[in-house]
Amino acid sequence: MCGIFAYFGPKEKAADIVLKGLKKLEYRGYDSWGIAAKQKDGRIYIEKHVGKISEVISLEDSLTSPSHLAIGHSRWATHGGVTQFNAHPHADENNKVVIVHNGIFENYAELKQELIEDACLFSSETDSEVLAHLIAKNMDEGFEKAFQKAISRLKGRYAVLAICEDEDKLIAARRGSPLIIGQGEDTYFVASDVPAFLAYTKEVMYLDDEQMVVITKDGATFSSLESGKTIKKRLISIDWEVEEAEKGEYPHFMIKEIMEQKDTLSRTINTAEAKLNEIAKLISRSDRAYIIGCGTAGYVAHIGEYLFAEIANKEVIMRPASEFHLSARFLTEQSVVIAISQSGETADTLEALKLAMNAGAKIVSIVNVESSTMARISDKILPIKAGPEKAVASTKATTAQIAILTLLAHASANKLDEGRQLLIQTMGSINDMLNPRYEDHITSIAGNIMNVQDIMVIGRGISHPVAMEAAMKMKEVSYIHTEGFAGGELKHGPIALIEEGVPSVVIAPDDNFKNEILSNAMELKARGALIIGVSPENAEVFDYWIKTPSAKHANAITHIIPLQILAYKLAVLRQHNPDMPRNLAKSVTVK
């Protein structure tokens, strides 16, 4: 969930380069950060802070001395509070070995006790620090051997980097948490995500699970953590542009990415016909099919369940990835599991896919990062090609995922051309919808409800998971307590929450459930609710109306976008940063 960035190369401003890289990774979520740089005399200097990286203009003098090797880390607290001592990088008591770490060492407590008994002095409360001491303990065998011996004793998911005073090397390893190596001219970068070094190179190599890499002035050598056998890696060119990872004229990434949906959907529409038909046949031949995801991806999966039922008359069962263990016992070699993740590194989803793999089920991944762990372990991949998404709250990746599922459901019904045409028309409607007047109208509505304590969002049919996703967006970025419900469930409990003036967003597309959801709106209004209608047509029950295009089976896309804007506007009016909501991270790589 944290950010890792390292530089090894000929430039002598390594710490400054790492600082810039960490700033590019701020979207991942963090509460503290630090940088370690190795100077020409071999000594390693460390600077650590609690707070925002973006507020730092320059580093301390000790880090600005000439250096060609530096590592950095932005921490999201797990073991130990948010303090400067607990911030990374961490070192042994002699400052000879320095490490950064994402993930959790599950057996750190017993290792720490062993190290304390061996007279090691700890300076933090973290699980991470044990690695520095374990490496230092065996440095008489050489840096690489000491690193391998230390790693072999650790349990859990991790991505780690290590440097030492004695040798001019950068060593990295991973198990379940992403690390990507960027290669330039006599230069190497190691990062949690590509945008960190996109300004320097688009040539990358991926470190897979149970692998390590040793980087020196002679190059990068990959090997297996278990066997030590050397592994050859191919260089892959990333097709993202630097501009896609920058805010440009927009005040926040979230609104930029909302507005980009006019363009990102067109890339999704062009997904290869053969690939869609191949996966559709896989689903048709399966004895059971599941669709899984976490958070927003979970709500997209729920939308997919409706799409397959309505378009293809097929049952594809939605399960939250974190709770998939119950359904996994029913998987066979004829089963299919469709996994959804923007990053392709979501820990709970990867754990669910391990269960599917153990059962011999076929795996289909819908991801934005084609070279992610999830993509690499899948039998089939459907890339959404949304480009880098840096706001923590997903927007353009969400609608691209829904679009892919819409195409796949149509392909399963042998109606792929019809599905493409539907999305082309929808894309045109969205282009017309996303204009300054429309945005100003939603700003006005947000201004009238910005100080409330609670919001309710309701929908029926496919609009039920849309309501839950809209509620997720609002609570994520505005911190207003927001709940999404099925309209038919109101009288079974949720209507007790309604008091005078509670805003209730009613999603009312032009579908078979329109009359029922408008009836629910009347029930809410009779009890004092303020009704915000999201619908192609105005209705007497609405106090405010947000107009949406009618898009038939693509209504989930056209109705979620204005609610993304509403969430964004509420966050801004309440003076919160919508790109980096508190306590959240972009990629949840720990369970």
Active site residues: 2, 586
For residues 89 and 71, the answer to whether their CB atoms sit within 8 Å is yes
What's the CA gap between 89 and 230, in Å, rounded?
28
The owner of tokens 């693509």 is 554
**Helix residue spans in 450-534 (DSSP H):** 463-478, 514-525
For residues 131 and 99, the answer to whether their CB atoms sit within 8 Å is yes
**Would you call the peptide bond into 89 cis, given omega within 30 degrees of 0 as the criterion?**
yes
What's the CA gap between 28 and 1, in Å, rounded?
6
CA atoms within 13 Å, Cβ hemisphere of 334? 5
What's the CA gap between 558 and 268, in Å, rounded?
15
Three-class SS of residue 292?
strand
Buried/exposed code over 18-35 (b: 16+ C-beta within 10 A; e: otherwise):
bbbbbbbbbbbbbbbbbb
Q: Smallest Cα–Cα separation from 501: which of 545, 453, 548? A: 453
Q: Smallest Cα–Cα separation from 284: which of 355, 339, 362? A: 362
What are the tokens at 80? 């130990």
What are the tokens at 330? 């029913």
- The bridge status of strand 380-383 relative to strand 362-367 is parallel
Give strand pairing partners of 507. Answer: 534
What's the CA gap between 543 and 444, in Å, rounded?
13
Q: What is the DSSP letter of 556?
A: H
Q: Smallest Cα–Cα separation from 37: which of 61, 68, 4? A: 68
3-state helix, strand, coil in the chain (%, to 5): 40, 25, 35
**Helix residue spans in 176-317 (DSSP H):** 253-259, 261-269, 273-285, 296-312
Packing angle of the helix pair 261-269, 396-412 (nearest 10 deg):
30
Contacting residues for 95 by C-beta, under 8 A, at least 6 apart: 43, 44, 46, 165
| SS3 per-residue string spanning 31-98 | CEEEEEEEECCCCEEEEEEECCHHHCCCCCHHHHCCEEEEEEEEECCCCCCCCCCCCCCEECCCCCEE
For residues 89 and 99, the answer to whether their CB atoms sit within 8 Å is yes
- DSSP structure string for 136-202: HHTGGG-HHHHHHHHHHT--EEEEEEEEESSS--EEEEEEBS--EEEEETTEEEEESSGGGTTTT--
C-alpha distances (whole Å) from 138 to each of 117, 133, 204 are 16, 9, 32
Give strand pairing partners of 456. Answer: 483, 504
